[in-house]
Amino acid sequence: MINPVSLSGGAADRPLQPPNPTRLVAERLEASFLAEMLKFGGLEPKSDSFGASTGESQFASFHREALAQEMVKAGGIGLADVFFQSMMERSNDA
């Protein structure tokens, strides 16, 4: 018989806190940067005789943006942290 898993003391007991708006902006900025890097890193459809239809090239940007957002959700490359700290320092200086 499988024993049930207890959720007491875990994340389920803590109330959800709304995300920090500045943090969200920093994550969006990192995602935009990553999407551009994916574009120039070879994730752009190639126009040759066997592919890269008009539709494919039009939707490629959506694919890159979705990949970049997932990368940020998974921890990204650390740019969101740098952007967030910089924005917080600037807001404290003002």
Which amino acid, one-letter code, is at 84?
F
23: Cβ–Cβ under 8 A, 6 or more apart, which residues? Answer: 80, 84
Q: What is the pTM of this model?
A: 0.71
Question: Tens digit of pLDDT per residue, the chain (94 long)?
Answer: 555 554 455 555 667 888 899 999 999 999 999 999 998 887 666 665 556 677 777 788 899 999 999 999 999 999 999 999 999 999 887 6
Domain coordinates of the chain in residue numbers?
19-93
Q: Chain-centre distance of CA 30, in angstroms? A: 7
